[in-house]
Amino acid sequence: MEYFWYIVLVAMLAVYVVLDGYDFGAGIIHLFFAKEEKDKKAITNAIGPFWDANEVWLIAAGGVLFFAFPTLYASSFSGFYLPLMMVLWLLIFRAVGLELRGQIHHPLWEAIWDKAFGIASLLLALFFGAALGNVVRGVNLGMVQNGISTHEPHYFFLPLWNESFSPQAEHQGIIDWFTLMLGIIAVVALTIHGANWIIFKTNSDLNSKLKNVVFKLNFVLLALVILSLFIWHIIEPQPFHNFIKYPFLWVLPIITFIGIFGLFKVRTFKKDGYGFIFSSLFLVGGLASTVASIFPKLLPSTNAINPSLTVENVATHEYGLSVGMSWFFIAVVLVAIYFTIQYRVFKGKMDDIGYGEH
């Protein structure tokens, strides 16, 4: 039963990355490439009807984590408390940047909220990428020092960084050279994803420029992904052990590279939605490949004293998991109805939606 909820949790996170990921990417495009007012409006129109619904997937994933894996929830929300508060404030600033910009039509007012929206989107992409890096790298569960566990086996706390900036230090930080690299990969990938969404949903004058941006950034993304695979050997001596043990898992990295290589043809696609499909494949395949590489661990332990948090040892009682399954299927039906209506109402190009105008 716990494996079912594990798949549900990963699926929800994948949906969140794809849907809210294009919001983050659109914000980064807004920050660096939207110089004229018409371009800024085109970007906000493209995401306006969707961004708040997209963020609900993060809340839903947190709810599943709390319900199905409460020990992991308690451990993570304690250990990652500082960055989680920073993420919360960034989500707030990003939202108010979208909502408050149109309240007063003054260049200074609009510039402030434009920057809030763009910078918050950039930092959120960076932080979520670094968060994935922390999960893959593992943490010092129990806060072991000199071979002695100073806290409960599932407890840890991380500062933003440590003095050595190394992922292999006894007491790691949230940000080190490994997690920072994954954060940069996330920024590049979501910038590409957001650009593809804007191309898909608008007829903006930016679109031809964005196709070139996607093409060029894709070289950077491919180089970073290859580099990260080599660096992964430093963190995990046997990074592909699950893929060797379960050969069917190779379909996940294949999906990842289909996505990334497909993006090299973005300038020749006859339909604007193809780029978004390929960047979605990359994001889903990359996340699933990363999760599969550490399975069944959910949060690895970097010390030999306390065990890693796994699907088995952090799951709630089987009775609770089985009861929750009934309500889950009801929720799936309601969510499917909602999203079907939403995306049908706002199908096609969004240039004239007029989001944020008051």
Q: Is 350 inside a domain boundary?
A: no
With beta carbons less than 8 A apart as the criterion, state whether 101 and 150 touch: no
Strand-strand pairing, 309-310 and 297-299: antiparallel
The confidence score (pLDDT) of residue 217 equals: 96
Torsion of CA 77, 68, 94, 174, to 10 degrees: 40
What residues of the chain score a pLDDT lower than 50? none
The confidence score (pLDDT) of residue 100 equals: 85
Tokens 């919360």 belong to 88
With beta carbons less than 8 A apart as the criterion, state whether 98 and 345 touch: no
Sign of the dihedral defined by the CA atoms of residues 126, 159, 83, 74, in that order: positive
Q: Is 352 inside a domain boundary?
A: no
The confidence score (pLDDT) of residue 16 equals: 94
The confidence score (pLDDT) of residue 151 equals: 85
Residue 310, helix vs strand vs coil = strand
Q: Is 351 inside a domain boundary?
A: no
Residue 87 amino acid letter: V
Q: How many CB atoms lie within 10 A of CB 262?
A: 18
Q: Is 358 inside a domain boundary?
A: no
pLDDT digits 0-9 by tens, 115-129: 999 999 999 999 999
Which residue segment(s) compose the domain that 183 sits in? 2-143+150-345
Whole-prediction pTM: 0.92
The confidence score (pLDDT) of residue 150 equals: 83
Number of domains in the chain: 1
pLDDT digits 0-9 by tens, 206-217: 898 999 999 999
Q: Is 286 inside a domain boundary?
A: yes
Q: Is 353 inside a domain boundary?
A: no
Q: Which helix (H) or strand (E) holds 83?
A: helix 81-100
Question: How far apart (Å, rounded) are the C-alpha atoms in residues 41 and 258?
Answer: 32
The confidence score (pLDDT) of residue 147 equals: 82
Nearest of 136, 248, 215 to residue 182 by alpha carbon: 136
The confidence score (pLDDT) of residue 235 equals: 81
Q: Is 90 inside a domain boundary?
A: yes
Q: Is 355 inside a domain boundary?
A: no
Question: How far apart (Å, rounded) are the C-alpha atoms in residues 139 and 125?
Answer: 21
